[in-house]
Every structure is written in structure tokens, then in C-alpha cells.
Structure 1
């Protein structure tokens, strides 16, 4: 059984990996994140506090646990924050990757790195893995720079690009598109939703499964990992309204330009999933199935918690 170390284990994806490891026992887990462990179960795996910007601490933790693979989920993912604070974004999304990469090269550890559809400009989606990158935001640029570090390294690496991850855990630090839409519609307040951006939303459980499959199959190279359904953001919000029987009359469809966001977003991304399905036996849920899973989990945990 392989041992994996996750960074950012307090985040949505990190917690879903912990949940999956505990349920299925396919790998051993060292979960790491900044600050105390927020996952409600503390038995069955190791937890270590880890600030990915502290190179000495990163080296200490990796040398202590000697994992077979690292799944690197920690990053700055808020696109507007990244645009406004490029220096910190670069530290978190590029410099921290270099720190991990150097250790992985030295100690022959597989590195599974999470990336994004925002490496593309959105002019011609859905995209295949070999399509040319052309980011239009600093967030996207930082993720391209990180990808280039791996591609040009001697490490054993795989890049998993993903899109609009959604889901729920018991203790969340931030929301996601599905929880935001459901919460806003339940409040009954008018909301503006863009109708000129197209995505393939990804259930966090599906992405967690892809991460573990990448370790088990010793995946190498770039893989596209998302949900299977292609839709506009407006359609996504309407599907959320349909599922939970919420009032759609308060949804106003607007253009991206009208929102005056700090960072540009690609218009049409989406992924061709053929390679990931073939090589990793990846089998994503439909968006409808994903909403059902989220709904069932909400009933168990009593609805969204902190930060949502």
C-alpha cells in the first residue's frame, strides 16, 4: 500500500481525499495543512501542520514521513485575489511548487499537482491536454508557471487540471458555486449570473478519486479531470434552482463585462476527458448525480458550516 501526503488537507478537495482514504483504505495518508486539523475524524491517518511557504518545515515534514507520493492541493485559487496580490500568488502557486518539486526529485517521490482550466484563454474550449496554454489572468499565469516547473523537471510528476470544484464538508473555509447559488436563491434576493462563460463543474469526490487513481497507476503527464456536463454558469445556477425547487425569477443573466471583476475569466473552457477516462479509469458523476450527493451530505452535516 502506497503512502500519500496531501497538502491543503483542510480544503474541500483535501478533506474529500481524507474521507475517501478512510472509507476505502487503498492508500495510507499523511494529511497536512496550515493550522489545526479541521477534519472531524482524527484516527486512521497522520496529521501534520504545514505552511507550504516555510521551506524548512516542508523539508522536515517530507523527510519525517517519506511518502511515496505527494498530492499538492494547497494554492491561492481566488482569481481576483491573485490578480490584486500577484506577489503572494506567485509565492503560493509557484515558489511553493518549486520547493516540493526539488524534494520530490531528490527523494524520488511522485508529485501530483492540481492545476486549472484557467491556463487556457477560453477562445476554443473544450480543451485537450496537449492544447496550447494562454492564460488571461495572473492566477492562470501562476498555474502555467507551476506546470512548466514540473514539465522541465526530472521528477515523477502528473498534473491534474480541473474546473469549478463543488461539494460540501463538515467545516469549510470558503464556499463554491453550487453552495453559493443554493444559499443565494434560498434567501430570495435577486442575483446576477453570467451567461457567457461555459464550464464543466467537478464534484469534489470525483477529483479526489482521480488524485488517488493517479497515485495508484503512477500516472505521468497532464490529465484533464472535470465533470462530464458542459454548461453556462447561468445554466448551472438554474440547474441548482431546479434541483432544490427554488425561485428562478430572481436570477438575472448578465455578461461577464458588466460585473467589472478584477481578473478576466476565460469564456469557454471545458475539457475533453478521453485520456483520463482511458488511462486512469476515471468515471465522473453527472451534474445531477453530483447535486444529489451534495444534498444527501447536507442532510447529514446539517447544512453548510463556517465560511459558506
Structure 2
């Protein structure tokens, strides 16, 4: 059984990987994140506080546990914040990856790094793994630079690119477009939603399972992992409203340029999932099935 170190374990994907390993017993888990452990279950694994902006901190933790696999889920993902706070963005999204790669190269550990569809410009989606990155934002650039470094590093690496991850954590501490839309509409708020950006949203549980399969099988190189449904953001939010029977007249479709956001978003991303299907037997749930799972999880949280 492999020892897996997860960075960013307090985030949505990090918590889902923790839950998956605890429920399946498929690995020995070292969970790391900044601050106190936010996962509801505290037993059955080791949690260590780790600051990814501090090289010495990373090295100290790494050498104390000597993992077989590192799954790097940690990132600064607010695209507009990354556009204005570039130093912090580069520190977490690029420099920390270099530190992890160097440590994995020294010890022979397998580094599984989470990247993004925002490395592409959105002009030719959906994309295969060998498509040429051309990021439009500093966030996308920081992730593309990390990818470039890994490709030339001596460590055993896998880059998992993903798209618009959604789900809920046990303490409901993490928001995403589904929870934002549902909450806003339940409060009868008018919301503006872009109708000129297309994505294939990814259920966090599906992504966590893919990460664990990569770790178990030792698959290397670039992998695209996302949901299978290509829709505009506006269509996705309409589907959220439909599922929970909320007022769709509150949803105003708008063009991207009207929002005056700091960072430019790609128009149409999406992934061709052939490699994941063939090598991981990856079959994502539909967006509707993902909403059904979220609904069940939210009901169980309310009962606690």
C-alpha cells in the first residue's frame, strides 16, 4: 500500500481525496495544508500543517514522511486575484511545484500535479493532452509555467488538467459556481451569468477517484480529467435552477466583456477524455447526476 502525501487537503479536492482514502483503505494518507485540519474526520491518517510558500517547511515535512506519491491539489485559483497579486500567485502555483519536483526527484516519489483548462486560450476546445497551451490570464500562465518545469524535471510526474470543479465539503467551507448559483437563487437574488463561455464541469468525487487511480497505476504524462457535458456557464446555471426548482427569471445572460473582470477567460475549453477512459477506465457522471449527489450530501449535512 502506497503512502500518499496530499497538499491542499483543506480544499474541495483535498477533502474528497481524504474521504475516498478513508472509506476505501487504498492508501496510507499524509494530509497537509495551511492552518488547522478542516476535514470532519480526524482519525485514520496523519495531518501536518504545511506552508507551500516556505521551501524549508515543504522539505522538512517531505523528508519526515518520505511519501511514495505526492498529489499536489494546492493552488491559488481565484483568477482575478491572481491577475493582481502576481507574486503570491507565482509563489504557490509555480515555485512550490518546483520545490515539490526537486524533492520527488531526489527520493523517487511520483508527483501528481493538478493543472487547469485555463492553460489554453479557448479557441479550439475541446482539447487533447498534446494541444499547445496559450494562457490568456496570469493564473493560466502560472499553471502553464509549472507544467513546463515538470516536463523538463527529473522526477516521475503526472499533470492532471481539470475544469470547473464542483462539490461540497463536510463543513460547507468551500464555494463553487453550483453552490453560489443555488444560494443566490434561493435568496431571490438576481444574478448575471455569462453565456459566451463553454466548459465541461468536473464533479470533485470523479476527480478524486481519477487522482487515486493515477497513483495506484503509476500513470505518467499529461491526463485530461473533466465531466463529459459541454455547456455554457449560463446553461449550467439554468440546470442548477431546474434541478432545485428555483426561479430562472432571476438569471440574466450576459457577455463576458460586460463583467469587466481583471482576468480574461478562455471562450470554449473542454477536454477529449479518450486517454483517461482507456488508461484509467474513467467514466464521469453527468452534470445532472453530480447535482443529485450534491443534493443527497447537503441533506445529510443538514441532518447532522
What is the rounded CA distance, in whole Å, between the counterparts of 1:31 and 1:268 in structure 2? Answer: 34
What is the rounded CA distance, in whole Å, between the counterparts of 1:173 and 1:61 in structure 2? Answer: 25
Structure 1 residue runs of 4+, over 2 Å off?
Answer: 171-174
What is the rounded CA distance, in whole Å, between the counterparts of 1:25 and 1:84 in structure 2? Answer: 42
Aligned to 1:129: 129
Following TM superposition, by how much is the alpha carbon of 1:281 offset from its aligned partner in structure 2, in angstroms? 1.4
What's the TM-score once normalised by structure 2's chain length?
A: 0.98
Q: Give the alignment of 1:76-91 within 5 angstroms.
A: 76-91=76-91
- Does the 8 Å contact 1:121/1:133 carry over to 2? yes
**Residue 296 to residue 203, structure 1, CA distance change in 2 (3 Å):** same
Q: Give the alignment of 1:28-43 within 5 angstroms.
A: 28-43=28-43
The one-character-per-residue Cα deviations of 1:98-118 (angstroms, maximum 9, x if unpaired) are 111100000000000000000
Which range moved further: 112-121 or 173-182? 173-182
1:29 aligns to what SS in structure 2?
strand
What is the rounded CA distance, in whole Å, between the counterparts of 1:294 and 1:77 in structure 2? Answer: 22
Q: CA RMSD in A?
A: 0.9
- Does the 8 Å contact 1:11/1:172 carry over to 2? no
1:47 counterpart = 2:47:
yes
The one-character-per-residue Cα deviations of 1:53-91 (angstroms, maximum 9, x if unpaired) are 111111111111111000001110000000011111011
What's the TM-score once normalised by structure 1's chain length?
A: 0.97
- Does the 8 Å contact 1:195/1:254 carry over to 2? yes
1:302 aligns to what SS in structure 2?
helix
Q: Give the alignment of 1:117-156 within 5 angstroms.
A: 117-156=117-156
Following TM superposition, by how much is the alpha carbon of 1:234 offset from its aligned partner in structure 2, in angstroms? 0.3
- Does the 8 Å contact 2:168/2:174 carry over to 1? no
What is the rounded CA distance, in whole Å, between the counterparts of 2:138 and 2:123 in structure 1? Answer: 17
Following TM superposition, by how much is the alpha carbon of 1:279 offset from its aligned partner in structure 2, in angstroms? 0.9
What is the rounded CA distance, in whole Å, between the counterparts of 1:280 and 1:68 in structure 2? Answer: 19
Structure 1: give runs of 5+ residues left out of the alignment: 304-308
Following TM superposition, by how much is the alpha carbon of 1:172 offset from its aligned partner in structure 2, in angstroms? 4.3
2:148 aligns to what SS in structure 1?
helix
Following TM superposition, by how much is the alpha carbon of 1:282 offset from its aligned partner in structure 2, in angstroms? 1.1
Aligned to 1:232: 232
1:240 aligns to what SS in structure 2?
helix
Following TM superposition, by how much is the alpha carbon of 1:9 offset from its aligned partner in structure 2, in angstroms? 0.2
What is the rounded CA distance, in whole Å, between the counterparts of 1:302 and 1:33 in structure 2? Answer: 26
What is the rounded CA distance, in whole Å, between the counterparts of 2:296 and 2:25 in structure 1? Answer: 23
Aligned to 1:9: 9
